[in-house]
Amino acid sequence: MGSFFTNFHIRTDSQDKVRAALTPLVKGRAYVSPPGNGWVTLYDEASDDQDETIICKTAEALSKKLHTAVLAFLVHDSDVAKYWLYRDGKLADEFNSAPDYFGESVSKATRARVRGKSEALRPLCVSGAATMGRLEAILHPAGGQPLMAEDTVTDLAELLGIDAVRATIGFRYFEEEGEEILPDIAEFQPVGKNAEPKTPKLPTPESSSPEAGGPSNLFAAAVGMLTQRWGLRQQMESMWPGGEAKLALTDDMLNKLVESFDRSAKDILKHHDVAGRPTFEELKAARDRGPEALAELLAQRVPDQIVDIAVGSAASGSNLFIAALLKHGLNPNGIGSHGITPVAAAERHGKNSTVYQLLKGGQT
C-alpha cells in the first residue's frame, strides 16, 4: 500500500499566530510546528481523511485570517500528488498530478486549472534555489509523473525551503511515527481537545550499537535503500507472475524507483546523523562505484554495522553486495540488533538460493 497524507504549510515565522488562528477551526486534534525557513507546518486530524472540502476550507481560512500564503499538500496511495495554494484567502493555484485517476471524465478546462503554475510558486521558493525551469520540470516532467507521488512533494518542498520530512507525513504518520522521526516534535503545539504534547524518542549516539538495537537499524535501512539499484529488476520481476514485469518495467521506471530510494536514504541519514559515520554523499559515491567500493567503505568506517546491513541485504536477496561484504570480513553468523543472523535472513529465499549458499559458504 502506498502513502496517504495531508499537511499544510503556512508562510510565517509565528507559531503562536498560527495556533491562535487555527483554534476556532479545529474539529478534532491538530499540531502546529515551530517555524523553519519561514514556514510553519500544520497536521490536522480532520483533513487527514483527504476530504478536499475540509482541506480547502482550512487552508482558505488560515490564509485569510493571517494574510499570508498557505500551501496544502495531499498524496493519495503514492499515486496522486495534489496541492492547493491560497493567498490572502484566495485560491492562487491548484495542482493534480493525475486528474483522471478515479476514472472521472475530466474536461480540458479542469486539466488546465489543476496543471499547476510555476509562476505562482516561484515567489515562495528559497532565494537562488529555483528557476522557472526547475519548477516546470517538477510539475510537468517530460517523462511523465514519478512512480511515487510523494517524490513530487519532496522536490517542491526542497525548492520552497520546507523540511522534506514535515512535507511527507500527515496527522496519522505524525501520531504513529513523529516521535521517532521529528527531532523537534516536543516544540509542536497541540491544538484541540485530547491533543497532547509529544516527546521525542530519537536515539542517542550511546544507543547506536547493534547491541543497543538503536539507530544502527536506521543506518542499515538507509544503506539498504542505496543498494536497491543492484538486482532491483529481478526483485520487481519476482513480484509479478508470468513474466508480466518484463514487459511493464522500463529502464526509466527503474531509474525513478532508484531515485526514490536514494531520497529516502538521504532523509533518514539527515535526521539520524552520528559522528564518524559516512555521510549520504560518501555512501552514494561509493555505491555508484559498485558493491566492492561500498563494502570497503563500510568495513573501514562502520564495522559494527556490517551485520545489520548484511541482514537487510540477505533478506532482499542482494547477491552482489553480500558477496562483497563477505570479502570484507562479514561474519554470516553474526547476530544483528533484532537477534537475526545474515544466514537466517537469507534462508527465507530457500536453502538452494544463491544468497543462502553464499553465506553458508562464507561460514568459518
pLDDT tens for 133-148 read 899 999 999 878 777 8
Cβ atoms of 174 and 30 within 8 Å: the answer is no
In angstroms, the CA 48 to CA 169 distance is: 10
322 shares a domain with 181: no
38 shares a domain with 159: yes
344 shares a domain with 225: yes
161 shares a domain with 126: yes
88 pLDDT exceeds 80?
Answer: yes
Q: What is the pLDDT of residues 341-357, one digit of tens each?
A: 999 988 888 888 888 89
186 shares a domain with 246: no
What are residue 86's DSSP bridge partners? Answer: 70, 91
Cβ atoms of 316 and 284 within 8 Å: the answer is no
Domain presence at residue 201: no
Q: Which of 126, 159, 191 is the last residue of a domain?
A: 191
Domain presence at residue 352: yes
44 shares a domain with 111: yes
Domain presence at residue 199: no
Q: What is the pLDDT of residue 260?
A: 76
Domains identified in the chain, total number: 2
Average pLDDT over residues 90-103: 94
Q: What is the pLDDT of residue 247?
A: 46
**Reported confidence tier of residue 339, pLDDT bands at 50, 70, 90:** confident
Domain presence at residue 198: no
Query: And the C-alpha cell for 42?
Result: 500544520
Domain presence at residue 196: no
262 shares a domain with 114: no
Of residues 156 and 263, which shows the higher confidence score?
156
Q: Which of 130, 163, 191 is the last residue of a domain?
A: 191
Q: What is the pLDDT of residue 206?
A: 39
Domain presence at residue 197: no
Domain presence at residue 118: yes
Q: What is the pLDDT of residues 47-76, one digit of tens each?
A: 999 999 999 999 999 999 999 999 999 999
**Edge-to-edge strands, sheet with 5-11:** 90-96, 80-87, 69-76, 5-11, 39-44, 30-32, 189-191
Q: Which of 249-258, 285-294, 352-361 has the lowest mean pLDDT?
A: 249-258
Q: State which residues form the domain around 230.
A: 206-361
214 pLDDT exceeds 70?
Answer: no
Q: What is the pLDDT of residue 231?
A: 67
In angstroms, the CA 357 to CA 353 distance is: 6
Q: What is the pLDDT of residue 205?
A: 41
Domain presence at residue 200: no
Cβ atoms of 307 and 331 within 8 Å: the answer is yes
Residues 252-258: contacts with CB under 8 Å, at least 24 apart: 252/143, 253/147, 256/146, 256/147, 256/148, 256/151, 257/147, 257/148, 257/228, 257/232, 258/228, 258/229, 258/232
Query: And the C-alpha cell for 181?
Result: 522521526
Q: What is the pLDDT of residue 42?
A: 98
**Reported confidence tier of residue 215, pLDDT bands at 50, 70, 90:** very low
150 shares a domain with 61: yes
247 shares a domain with 158: no
**Ranges 9-13, 100-104, 307-311, most confident:** 9-13
Helix (H) or strand (E) holding 360, with range, is helix 354-361
In angstroms, the CA 266 to CA 122 distance is: 25
In angstroms, the CA 62 to CA 24 distance is: 11
Q: Which of 191, 223, 251 is the last residue of a domain?
A: 191
170 shares a domain with 32: yes
- In 18-137 the beta strands, taken as DSSP E runs, fall at 30-32, 39-44, 69-76, 80-87, 90-96
What percent of the chain is predicted at pLDDT more than 90? Answer: 58
Phi, psi of 95, deg, nearest 5: -140, 140
Q: Report pTM.
A: 0.68
**Reported confidence tier of residue 237, pLDDT bands at 50, 70, 90:** low
Phi, psi of 52, deg, nearest 5: -65, -25
Question: Chain-wide mean pLDDT for the chain?
Answer: 86
Q: What is the pLDDT of residue 6?
A: 98
Of residues 155 and 256, which shows the higher confidence score?
155
Of residues 297 and 250, which shows the higher confidence score?
297
Cβ atoms of 228 and 294 within 8 Å: the answer is no
**Reported confidence tier of residue 98, pLDDT bands at 50, 70, 90:** very high
132 pLDDT exceeds 70?
Answer: yes
269 pLDDT exceeds 70?
Answer: yes
- Of 11, 28, 357, which Cα lies nearest the Cα of 174? 28
232 shares a domain with 177: no
Q: Within 10 Å of residue 40's Cβ, how many Cβ atoms?
A: 28
In angstroms, the CA 10 to CA 26 distance is: 16
Q: What is the pLDDT of residues 106-122, one digit of tens each?
A: 899 999 999 999 999 99
- Of 80, 83, 82, which Cα lies nearest the Cα of 70? 83
- Would you say how long the chain is, in residues? 364
163 shares a domain with 247: no
